Homo-oligomer: A and B are copies of this chain.
Amino acid sequence: MDLTITTAQLAAAAADVVRLVPGKLVDPVLGGLLLTADARGVVLAANDRERTARISCDALVHTEGQVLVPAKPLAETLRALDQPQVRLVVEGARLAIRAEGARFALPLLDVDLHPGVTEPPAPSGSVSATVFASALSTVATTAARDEALPIFTGVRVRSEGDKLVLRATDRYRMAIATIPWTPGPSTIDALIPATLLAEIGKQVVGDVWIGVDANRLSLAWEDMVVTTAVLDGTYLSESKLALSDFDTHVEADADALAGATRRVALYTDARGVISLEVGDSEVRLRTADRQTGEAEESVKATIDGGRTSPSYQARYLIDALRPFAGRRIQLAIQPGMRATVVTAVEGGEVDLRYIIMPMLPPKTG
């Protein structure tokens, strides 16, 4: 293999693949980047047996060929280069990375041990990358990080007519984003690792094509195709939540409420709980702890219905308000220990509902 390529383009492609498929520590081959050069350019591919990524780049190929090299060292070398052009050339048991005045050489790994990258499932439909990324920025971060409960580390991706619904929960809160979907030949319903979707949300551009088969989901945009194994498990569905008894509706500015929550939260006890007292034209956030002191702050609000006044984990309320920054939100509150639903007063392209569970109120001083 021998090719010349724009450093920035190859560096970006290698970095994207490494972030999508970080590799496994146990097996260097699964942390390898497979480079395949032919007349059309060079294809970078990775496969850790759960995820695959494949991206094609334009390159001036002098000699065709295929090599496997450690992915991260290659990506780091390319990222560090100032030189605009770079040449990749096999020299004995090394892949040399040559740039003006410099030569770096990585050991070749055994291509025959690599699983390769098989054809992805065909696309079932597509979404706009901007809207998809916006929805994922909230939904993918709501999933649990605790690997002991794999089912809660996933985002459920489901097509419903001309909508795509993205849902995640860690059991204490749930985010549900509904975005426009251009339906194709088949429907989608799969549970996908949230960490991968969070990274994908940072990379997507243009249109994103999504497809599924029996145990994989594929996402494709521009020159990139990613596949992932789907997670097992029947998923906590919204319909299992009691969401029928809203007696109090609060409308307020999301930023004002988040700011006040952040300040009052400095005074919570170890449980981190604050109470939201619903008044006539304001809500009052309040907490107290013998050690840390006490705090209360009022935020102007429009109140409709009853005066049910729940308590929440302050950090979950802050997380729930963050995606609505700059907008007015509605809290739909139920009596007792039943869920509160946060939505925007005026809808946008991403229709987002954020559900949080109330907590027992803070003990006062």
Contacts and interface: CB of A to CB of B under 8 A. Distances in A.
Interface of A: 73, 76-77, 80-82, 94, 101-107, 259-260, 262-264, 266-267, 291-299
Given A77-B266, A259-B82, A263-B77, A102 B292 contact: no
A345 to B, nearest CB: 21
Given A73-B292, A77-B295, A101-B260, 15 more contacts: A73-B267, A73-B293, A80-B259, A80-B266, A81-B263, A94-B293, A94-B294, A101-B298, A102-B295, A104-B263, A104-B266, A105-B293, A105-B294, A106-B292, A107-B292
A103 B298 CA distance: 9
Contact of A80 (B101, B263, B293): B263
23 contacts: A73-B267, A77-B295, A80-B259, A80-B262, A80-B266, A81-B263, A82-B259, A94-B293, A101-B297, A102-B263, A102-B296, A102-B298, A103-B295, A103-B297, A104-B263, A104-B266, A104-B294, A104-B295, A105-B293, A105-B294, A106-B293, A107-B291, A107-B293
A266 B73 contact: yes
Copy number in the complex reads 2
A76 B266 contact: yes
A254 to B, nearest CB: 14
Contacts of A297: 101-103
Contact of A105 (B76, B82, B295): B295
A204 to B, nearest CB: 29
A291 B266 CA distance: 49
A289 to B, nearest CB: 10
A278 B193 CA distance: 52
A63 to B, nearest CB: 21
A275 to B, nearest CB: 15
Nearest to A296: B103
Contacts of A262: 80
Nearest to A285: B102
Nearest to A69: B293
Contacts of A266: 73, 76-77, 80, 104
Given A266-B73, A266-B80, A102 B260 contact: yes
Most chain B CB atoms below 10 A, which of A104, A106, A260, A291: A104
A325 to B, nearest CB: 14
Nearest to A259: B82
Given A259-B82, A293-B73, A267 B104 contact: yes
Nearest to A106: B293
A76 B292 CA distance: 12
A76 B267 CA distance: 10
Most chain B CB atoms below 10 A, which of A82, A263, A299: A263
A256 B106 CA distance: 23
Most chain B CB atoms below 10 A, which of A94, A101, A291, A292: A101
